[in-house]
Structure 1
Amino acid sequence: MIYRIDETTSTNDDARDARYRHGDIVWAERQTAGRGQRGHTWLSPRGENLTFTLVLEPHFLPVGEQFLLSEIVTLALTELFDRYGIDTRIKWTNDIYTGDRKLVGMLIEHDLAGGRLARTLAGIGINVNQTRFDPSLPNPVSMASATGRTFDREEVLGRFHELFMARYAQLERGEKEAIQHDYRLRMYRLGERHPYRLPDGTLFEATIEGVRPSGALLLRRTDGSLGEYLFREVEFVIDAKG
């Protein structure tokens, strides 16, 4: 079920309420303290975009396989944009890009019970109809600016929910290899050589070869060595004008 509210601090915070159950979506017109990856804030003009949290209760999934949830969310999003004629790719770990510009940001948070996942909150921000962005943002894009037309946000959200639940059913059936295969094929910059940056500022060139089930990014350096990097251990270097 989709719950639409006018304003909240963060939909991820609001979605922690036990009244929201598996498959529910909490959609807010405005977030006063929306959160993104790497501690960034997420700001969105009222009435232009989609800022929401998808509530999941994946009790069947071991903690070590939690990255599969990120994979099915991002796959559902790329399939959603296919429906609107927008070619997108998944920028590891879970941003959605069209070209070299960011269309979707996401923050996924997990609550654990023993060695299994009890509750997962996937906070998602989709740039839908916004055409003017804060100049400090490096590379934003919206569905509207990518296509030259505006969209019914409620329809977009409903379609995403349907596509996601189909992917979730695939995960419940245990089709993990198929999910991982599809995720790899949709990866941004797969098989291309580009620069990357380590936390200490060191730059190096490498080619994306894929991702481990754990979520570790596989980068083949120019000297032939293969490195594995978890979230925050490596950063993409992207030309903001790309």
Structure 2
Amino acid sequence: MKIIKLNAIDSTNSFLKEMVTDSVVENFTVVVAESQVNGRGQQDSVWLSEPFKNLTFSVYISFKNFKIQHKKNLLFAVSLAVYGAVKEATNLQISIKWPNDILSGNKKICGILVENSIQKDKIRHSVVGIGLNVNQTNFSEAIYKVSSLKLLTQKNYDLDALLKVIVSKLKERINQLENKQFEQLEGEYLKVLHKKNTPAMYKDSKGVLFMGFISGISKDGLLQIKLEDETIREFGIKEVSFA
């Protein structure tokens, strides 16, 4: 595992993507930022992190023969890797909020961004960005429903050691992906999916409120919510939220 440490950078994902364009990059190369000033989340949202307190890093993953039709399983693999590492390090009661945030209760402790390079019907490689709140204890008032491992456990964590555990888990899960263990990945993901089979109030992109419960993930990776009338609606990223 090759680890590149940078003092300050706009975005580890952007840096690693440029690196892949300009040179040959070893599989599972990791770019870590001590301070990330313009971290990116899903749909161009911003990930804010206090310097030297958290893990903000990106991992390069290349594939031999991974078809785009199975891309939802990549999200399962990455989410489960981080979930497993945090669980092992802390033993906290945590869950995965679709598609790939890690929560403790209803508070976010980790965000994940997966960016794929596609050629014809295959994903050639992915850059996986991970932002995990570790030792930070103060957060901006503008950000609500967030927490960190230290706030939750009252312990300090070795960032380098935790990074190695996450990457190790990631390798294991990607190996499952390469071996086409899709049913196992999806089954494990659904077991720890936040609000799975639990009635909740949701809001769609038009601001309409409705009751329902998460029933699964579609073949195309959309979130499936069963409504009170037993019909199922499907939603993409940012098309639905908890009310």
**Deviation above 4 Å: which 4+ runs of structure 1?**
none
From 45, 51, 66, the equivalent of 1:46 is 51
Matched to 1:53, the amino acid is: S
State the 1:232 CA deviation: 2.4
Q: Using the alignment, how far apart are the partners of 1:114 and 1:39 within structure 2? A: 25
Which of the pair is proportionally richer in helix? 2
From 27, 31, 34, the equivalent of 1:22 is 27
From 179, 187, 204, the equivalent of 2:210 is 204
2:9 counterpart of 1:3:
no
Superposition pairs of residues 103-182 of structure 1, within 5 angstroms: 103-182=109-188
The DSSP-based 3-state class of the residue aligned with 2:14 is helix
Superposition pairs of residues 50-89 of structure 1, within 5 angstroms: 50-83=55-88, 84-89=90-95
The answer (yes or no) to whether the contact 1:59–1:116 under 8 Å persists in 2 is no
Give percent identity, aligned residues only: 28
State the 1:32 CA deviation: 2.0
Q: Using the alignment, how far apart are the partners of 2:212 and 2:26 within structure 1? A: 42
The answer (yes or no) to whether the contact 1:128–1:144 under 8 Å persists in 2 is yes
Q: Using the alignment, how far apart are the partners of 1:45 and 1:80 within structure 2? A: 21
CA shift digits 1:136-194 (9 cap, x unpaired): 11211100001011100000000011111111111111111100111111100111011
1:240 aligns with none
Matched to 1:66, the amino acid is: K
TM-score (norm 1): 0.94
Q: Which moved more, 1:227-236 or 1:133-142?
A: 227-236
Q: Using the alignment, how far apart are the partners of 1:202 and 1:156 within structure 2? A: 41
The aligned length equals: 237
The DSSP-based 3-state class of the residue aligned with 2:87 is helix
Q: Using the alignment, how far apart are the partners of 2:223 and 2:31 within structure 1? A: 30
Q: Using the alignment, how far apart are the partners of 2:241 and 2:38 within structure 1? A: 25
From 19, 25, 31, the equivalent of 2:36 is 31
TM-score (norm 2): 0.94
2:228 aligns with 222
Q: Using the alignment, how far apart are the partners of 1:231 and 1:131 within structure 2? A: 29
**Gap runs ≥5 in structure 1:** 238-242
The DSSP-based 3-state class of the residue aligned with 2:150 is helix
Q: Using the alignment, how far apart are the partners of 1:231 and 1:43 within structure 2? A: 20
The DSSP-based 3-state class of the residue aligned with 2:34 is strand
Please report the RMSD computed on the Cα atoms of aligned residues, expressed in angstroms: 1.2
Matched to 2:115, the amino acid is: E
Q: Which moved more, 1:29-38 or 1:69-78?
A: 29-38
The DSSP-based 3-state class of the residue aligned with 1:123 is strand
Q: Using the alignment, how far apart are the partners of 1:59 and 1:196 within structure 2? A: 39
Q: Using the alignment, how far apart are the partners of 1:143 and 1:166 within structure 2? A: 23
The DSSP-based 3-state class of the residue aligned with 2:180 is coil
The DSSP-based 3-state class of the residue aligned with 1:214 is coil
State the 1:38 CA deviation: 3.1
State the 1:123 CA deviation: 0.9
**Gap runs ≥5 in structure 2:** none
The answer (yes or no) to whether the contact 1:5–1:26 under 8 Å persists in 2 is yes
